[in-house]
Amino acid sequence: MNKTSFIGDKPINRIGFGAMQLAGPGVFGPPQDPDGARAVLRRAIELGVDHIDTAQYYGPDVVNDLIRETLRPYPENLKLVTKVGGRRDDQGAWLPAQTPAELRADVEDNLRSLRVELSTIIGIPQL
């Protein structure tokens, strides 16, 4: 089995790290053990993970902040894979956010929270 795949033209290991469960229960609020969550992120990188799947609405805001605080400056080979099109209300319900304005705001929120530049994004049309 091939151990490498691609995101755009960038090679990645076929298995990455899904960061959704780093947030609190129900993917809402901060983790019960923030230091443990940071340790998991560091260990994933040590073990060769080269892409992390995340979203601004995990927490919300919590997981991207943990990733940034723990791993920035990011390793050169690390790809951050994020999603848009959803949001959370104050009680943690999952809500759609799929209008062009909401999608653009989601992209900008991810860029801001992860502190990455638009020019580093793979496979996204020019906004």
- Cα 52 to chain centroid distance, Å, stands at 6
The pLDDT, as a whole number, for residue 117 is 81
Q: Which domain holds residue 105?
A: 4-120
Say if residues 39 and 72 touch (Cβ distance below 8 Å).
no
For residues 127 and 118, what is the distance between their CA atoms, to the nearest angstrom? 9
What's the confidence (pLDDT) of residue 56? 95
How confident is residue 7, by pLDDT bands cut at 50, 70 and 90? confident
Q: Do residues 68 and 114 lie in contact, with contact meaning Cβ atoms separated by under 8 Å? A: yes
In 3D space, the residue among 83, 117, 75 whose CA is nearest the CA of residue 102 turns out to be 83
- Does the residue 126 lie in any domain? no
The confidence score (pLDDT) of residue 127 equals: 45
Task: Of 5-14, 24-33, 49-58, 113-122, give the lowest mean pLDDT range.
Answer: 113-122
Cα 27 from Cα 24, distance rounded (Å): 5
Q: Are strands 51-55 and 17-18 parallel, antiparallel or unpaired?
A: parallel
Among candidate residues 28, 52, 58, 62, the one labeled active-site is 58
pLDDT higher than 50, residue 100 = yes
Judge whether 30 lies within some domain: yes
User: Does the pLDDT at position 25 exceed 90?
Assistant: yes
Dihedral sign from CA coordinates of 105, 111, 114, 120? positive
Q: For residues 44 and 52, what is the distance between their CA atoms, to the nearest angstrom?
A: 9
pTM: 0.88
Q: Respond yes or no: is residue 57 known to be catalytic.
A: no
Total domain count for the chain?
Answer: 1
Q: What is the pLDDT of residues 89-99, one digit of tens each?
A: 999 999 999 99
Residue 99 lies in a domain: yes
* pLDDT exceeds 60 at position 4: yes
Residue 127 located in a structural domain: no
Let me know if residue 125 belongs to a domain.
Answer: no
Answer yes or no: is pLDDT of 3 > 90.
Answer: no
